[in-house]
């Protein structure tokens, strides 16, 4: 056997050929008791859960009918249809504009916000650090609806503006409207990454720039920004990805005026022809994944680089903040305040008001028409009531179960090396390439036609399975982040004392990461709480959740009910967020 096959420890140091290699035995003995069987089983099962939906969609795209009808044959007809459909190109173009526009708005604002909150003495810093994250935790559908009721064609602000100025010079239901709303909503995503990088910067470099006479804005542009460039690039890639997969905002704001993006185009195809046109939907998804896959791959590369970078940061150098001065404070606070006003107060305020009034318009003071009757519906209509209960169950119980599953997967990859670990990395990232709407669709198909799963389709299990895959990459990153903090010595000490790897995990690893698990549970809870897209196709009597109910109600235009649902969703998110902070969750992504 050639000596080269010996290098099983693949991802070790770049193997320079030396004389030593020649005498090396043919194979490396595996480490005994390293839970190989467990790791292989878990990674294979995960592979099955991740690949099954993707492969099903891929297969479906090459058929001329639904995959479950025997008459369906292999064909490229669906590709021909989509690639010659003018609406597809329209959607593709709009998607690119939306993603790019979102990046153009979110990246500079997020970076500026990060600079203000980490490198300067801007006032109310502690409060702002929490408040600026809020848009991240609110469901996009709630946010979009919030804009509709406040600045939409018949929104409160629009009416007020018409009343006072005689006109309202904006159109929310336009591509520009969509770009601005999504851009502002994703500022926190950029802020988080850039702020993390900025906190690790030693302040003497900035102080040096100031000492040679640079004003603060020049320091920001010439010194701080170039040094956090990797974080900026990462945030850009992430936002492009999010932009390609965004569904809620373009659906709510684009649908009324016929603006489609790829995700809403897929959704429209469902109803376009009376019969399910699965093959056409599958083709769009395949094309969309071809767009997002390179971004996911690039993100993985950046992330590995980023980990090295974070490790270098270690304790974090002492940072001295820059003094803004009086004028600086006013400018900075107005900037932050304006952004908060537009991206938090406007939509949330709109929803809160809309949920409690039943009449408004030109010359009507909504405050004179306060009511709680919209909430009556939520209790009386069984499907709505079930939706709220289901959402809470899925978030609280499902979130805990998901964390348990992520923990098992995390342990399977913990201190694991070689091929199976690389495989795990990709399995975890793959679902990221698919919008959650599509993950939900794929799981719907699986639960519709895999014999064992069929009885579970109308239960929360089907929804939970899809949620676990949607939250996989975020959840696993949370858990791996806590697992990696345990010194290897602590685990090795248990092994040499006589504990098997299973006992080591039970008695040492899990007790030490317990606080991290609780924090992860709170964050996963919010992720499940705000989700609206995964459950759209999986919705049936018994599997309603707030988010998918809102999407369904939009079609029937039941604005009162939507407002009440949105209000409940915000309330639940607020509770979840409060819990997360109390439990000391570390927020990222």
Q: Which C-beta is closer to other proteins: that of 14 or that of 327? A: 14
- Touching other proteins, residues 56-75 (CB under 8 A): none
CA distance 202 to 19: 44
Angle between helices 86-119 and 229-245 in degrees, nearest 10: 140
**Residue 519 CB, nearest distance to other proteins (Å)?**
16
**Residue 30 CB, nearest distance to other proteins (Å)?**
7
Of 2-10, 106-114, 337-345, 526-534, the segment contacting other proteins by CB under 8 A is 2-10
**Residue 53 CB, nearest distance to other proteins (Å)?**
38
DSSP calls for 115-138: HHHHHB--TTHHHHHHHTTHHHHS
The binding track of 300-319 with respect to other proteins, each residue x by CB under 8 A or -, is --------------------
**Residue 492 CB, nearest distance to other proteins (Å)?**
5
Residue partners of 491: CB distance under 8 A and separation at least 6: 415, 504, 508, 509
Query: Looking at 55, 89, 497, 586, which residue binds other proteins (CB under 8 A)?
Result: 497
Query: Looking at 70, 213, 226, 498, which residue binds other proteins (CB under 8 A)?
Result: 498
**Residue 29 CB, nearest distance to other proteins (Å)?**
5
Q: Which C-beta is closer to other proteins: that of 27 or that of 320? A: 27
- Touching other proteins, residues 511-550 (CB under 8 A): 511-512
- Which has the closest alpha carbon to 240: 319, 163, 184, 296? 296
**Residue 486 CB, nearest distance to other proteins (Å)?**
10
**Residue 511 CB, nearest distance to other proteins (Å)?**
5
Q: Which C-beta is closer to other proteins: that of 358 or that of 492? A: 492
- Which has the closest alpha carbon to 551: 271, 345, 274? 271
Of 5-13, 140-148, 432-440, 463-471, the segment contacting other proteins by CB under 8 A is 5-13
Query: Looking at 210, 477, 495, 588, which residue binds other proteins (CB under 8 A)?
Result: 495
- Touching other proteins, residues 410-449 (CB under 8 A): none
Q: Which C-beta is closer to other proteins: that of 12 or that of 76? A: 12
Task: Please identify which residue in the block is written with the tokens 């018994």.
Answer: 542
Contact 305, 230 (CB under 8 A): yes
Query: Looking at 508, 529, 562, 579, which residue binds other proteins (CB under 8 A)?
Result: 508
CA distance 328 to 123: 11
Residue partners of 211: CB distance under 8 A and separation at least 6: none
CA distance 392 to 390: 5
**Residue 514 CB, nearest distance to other proteins (Å)?**
8
- Touching other proteins, residues 475-494 (CB under 8 A): 487, 489-490, 492-494
User: In the structure encoding, which two tokens stand for residue 25, read together?
Assistant: 């035995």
What DSSP state is assigned to residue 9? S
CA distance 287 to 92: 10
**Residue 316 CB, nearest distance to other proteins (Å)?**
21
Query: Looking at 364, 455, 500, 586, which residue binds other proteins (CB under 8 A)?
Result: 500
HSE value, Cβ hemisphere, 13 Å, CA-based, for 362: 9
CA distance 171 to 149: 13
CA distance 365 to 27: 81
**Residue 484 CB, nearest distance to other proteins (Å)?**
16
- Which has the closest alpha carbon to 399: 524, 214, 529? 524
Contact 184, 166 (CB under 8 A): no
Number of residues that bind other proteins (CB under 8 A): 40
Residue partners of 115: CB distance under 8 A and separation at least 6: 194, 198, 220, 224
Of 99-107, 159-167, 382-390, 505-513, the segment contacting other proteins by CB under 8 A is 505-513
Q: Which C-beta is closer to other proteins: that of 8 or that of 229? A: 8
- Touching other proteins, residues 11-50 (CB under 8 A): 12-18, 20-21, 23-25, 27-34
HSE value, Cβ hemisphere, 13 Å, CA-based, for 450: 15
- Residue 296 three-state SS: helix
Does 1 participate in binding other proteins (rule CB under 8 A)?
Answer: no
Residue partners of 85: CB distance under 8 A and separation at least 6: none
**Residue 416 CB, nearest distance to other proteins (Å)?**
14
For other proteins, the binding residues (CB under 8 A) are 6-7, 9, 12-18, 20-21, 23-25, 27-34, 487, 489-490, 492-500, 503, 507-508, 511-512
């Amino acid at each position: 056997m050639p000596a080269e096959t010996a290098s099983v420890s693949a991802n070790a140091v770049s193997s320079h050929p030396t004389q030593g290699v020649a005498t090396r035995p043919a194979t490396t003995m595996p480490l005994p008791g390293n839970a190989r069987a467990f790791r292989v089983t878990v990674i294979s099962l995960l592979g099955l859960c991740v690949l099954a939906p993707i492969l099903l969609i891929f297969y479906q795209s090459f058929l001329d009918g639904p995959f479950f009808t025997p008459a369906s044959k292999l064909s490229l007809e669906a590709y021909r249809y989509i690639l010659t459909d003018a609406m597809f190109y329209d959607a593709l173009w709009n998607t690119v504009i939306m993603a790019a526009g979102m990046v153009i708005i979110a990246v500079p604002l997020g970076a500026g916000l990060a600079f203000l909150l980490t490198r300067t003495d801007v006032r109310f810093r502690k409060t702002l650090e929490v408040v600026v994250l809020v848009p991240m935790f609110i469901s996009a559908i709630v946010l979009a609806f919030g804009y509709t009721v406040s600045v939409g064609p018949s929104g409160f602000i629009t009416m007020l503006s018409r009343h006072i100025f005689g006109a309202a010079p904006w159109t929310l239901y336009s591509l520009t409207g969509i770009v601005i709303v999504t851009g502002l909503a994703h500022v926190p995503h950029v802020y988080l990454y850039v702020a993390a990088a900025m906190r690790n910067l030693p302040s003497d470099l900035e102080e040096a720039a100031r000492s040679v006479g640079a004003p603060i804005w020049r320091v920001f542009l010439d010194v701080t920004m170039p040094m956090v460039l990797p974080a900026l690039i990462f945030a850009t890639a992430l936002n492009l990805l999010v932009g390609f997969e965004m569904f809620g905002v373009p659906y709510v704001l684009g649908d009324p005026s016929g603006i489609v993006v790829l995700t809403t185009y897929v959704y429209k195809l469902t109803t376009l022809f009376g019969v399910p046109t699965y093959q056409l939907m599958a083709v769009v998804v395949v094309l969309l994944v071809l767009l997002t896959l390179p971004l996911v791959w690039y993100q993985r590369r950046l992330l590995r680089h980023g980990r090295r970078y974070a490790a270098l940061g270690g304790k974090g150098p002492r940072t001295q903040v820059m003094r803004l001065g009086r004028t600086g404070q006013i400018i900075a606070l107005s900037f932050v305040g304006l952004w908060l006003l537009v991206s938090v107060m406007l939509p949330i305020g709109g929803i809160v008001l809309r949920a409690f009034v039943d009449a408004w318009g030109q010359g009507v003071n909504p405050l004179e028409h306060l009511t709680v009757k919209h909430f009556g519906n939520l209790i009386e209509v069984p499907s709505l009531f079930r939706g709220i209960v289901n959402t809470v169950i899925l978030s609280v119980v499902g979130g805990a179960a998901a964390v348990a599953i992520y923990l098992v997967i995390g342990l399977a990859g913990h201190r694991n090396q070689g091929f199976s670990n690389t495989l795990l990395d990709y399995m975890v990232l793959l679902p990221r390439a698919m919008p959650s709407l599509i993950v939900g669709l794929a799981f719907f198909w699986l639960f519709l036609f895999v014999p064992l799963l069929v009885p579970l389709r109308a239960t929360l299990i089907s929804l939970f399975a899809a949620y676990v895959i949607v939250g996989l990459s975020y959840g696993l990153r949370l858990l791996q982040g806590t697992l990696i903090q345990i010194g290897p010595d602590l685990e090795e000490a248990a092994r040499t004392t006589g504990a098997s790897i299973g006992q080591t995990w039970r008695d040492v690893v899990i007790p030490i990461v317990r606080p991290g698990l609780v924090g992860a549970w709170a964050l996963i809870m919010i992720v499940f709480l705000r989700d609206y897209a995964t459950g759209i196709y999986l919705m049936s009597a018994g599997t309603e959740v707030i988010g998918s109910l809102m999407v369904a109600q939009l079609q029937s235009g039941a604005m009162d009910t939507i407002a009440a649902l949105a209000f409940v969703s915000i309330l639940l998110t607020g509770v979840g967020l409060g819990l997360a902070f109390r439990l000391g969750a570390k927020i990222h992504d």
